[in-house]
Amino acid sequence: MSATVEEVRISLPHTELAAHIYGPEDGLPVIALHGWLDNAASFARLAPKLTGLRIVALDFAGHGHSDHRPAGTSYDIWDYVYDVLAVADQMGWQRFSLLGHSMGAIVSVLMAGALPERIERLALIDGLVPFTGEADEAPERMGKALRDLMAVGNKRKPVYREFDRAVEARMTGMIGVSREAAELLAQRGLMPVPGGYTWRTDSRLMLPSVMRLTQAHARAFISRVQCPAHLIIAESGSLSRHETVLEWLDAAYFTVTTLSGGHHLHVDDEAGAQRVADCFKGFLHPS
């Protein structure tokens, strides 16, 4: 984590995103995408270990130091794909690789399926496709999502009197992380407010999706991946419980490696970050 990191803001036609940039200017281009409710600090351990790459680790919209979506809008997964495409164009990268964790891995697969000509390689950490739903569930799901969206303005984010209280809350969240990982994410994800600290993340990120892809949609995106893809599954993570999804992978393009650790193994500790780096070094920077 001692490697030089550059803090930047990327102005796009529709929003402004924050990012950390690692590696030499002439390194192979990689955009790193974090998981839901995380931020660019998710790659603070891993990125310095991937030498020879120009890694742009984004804060997704609504996360970290990036702008929030305009009022009255939501955070659909495909809107993140558009953001990433806009960042690549802003960087002048016609072809580039994607390094994605969890939701970031899902965004990566959607982009590689939709625009296979733009993606060089996919390096995925414990994420593959979004939660799916079937057609008969769609009206009820949309109704609930719209009701929740209308009510979100009445909800207030928690305020933690001390920084450590927020760290402890992050450790025991929906998907737990180590204390060291929680501290990294909190340093970037918290902001001071009267009475203590609260999260910078947009409250709308907690809302349910208005619409979900069906299983047929998800399989179609995977089948359109035409670049080399390396998927790391965490033994105690999320994907290990979804064996059916893994059966959709085409062995001609996807390599799958299972590593010990939890869902955030790449940031929980240095050993986990090193195991992930050892898998991705030669893959993202083939000699």
Is 102 one of the annotated active-site residues of the chain? yes
Report CA dihedral (9, 35, 44, 32) to the nearest 10 degrees: -60
> Which of 42, 102, 223, 238 does the annotation list as catalytic?
102
Radius of gyration of the chain (CA): 18
SS3 for 52-102 is CEEEEEECCCCCCCCCCCCCCCCCCHHHHHHHHHHHHHHHCCCCEEEEEEC
Q: Is 235 left (phi over 0), alpha (psi -120 to 50) or beta?
A: alpha
Burial category of 203 from C-beta neighbours within 10 Å (exposed 0-12, middle 13-18, buried 19 and up): middle
Query: Which residues neighbour 126 within 8 Å (Cβ) at sequence distance 6 or greater?
Result: 101, 102, 105, 232, 233, 234, 237, 238, 239, 263, 265
Amino acid at position 30, single letter: V
Residue 262, beta-bridge partner list: 236
Rounded to an integer, what is the distance from CA 26 to the centroid of its chain? 24
Q: Do residues 50 and 21 touch, judged by C-beta distance below 8 A? A: no
Element (H, E) at 148: helix 138-151
SS3 for 119-141 is EEEEEEECCCCCCCCCHHHHHHH
**CA distances for 4 relative to 31, 51, 93, 143, angstroms:** 17, 12, 22, 47
List the catalytic residues.
102
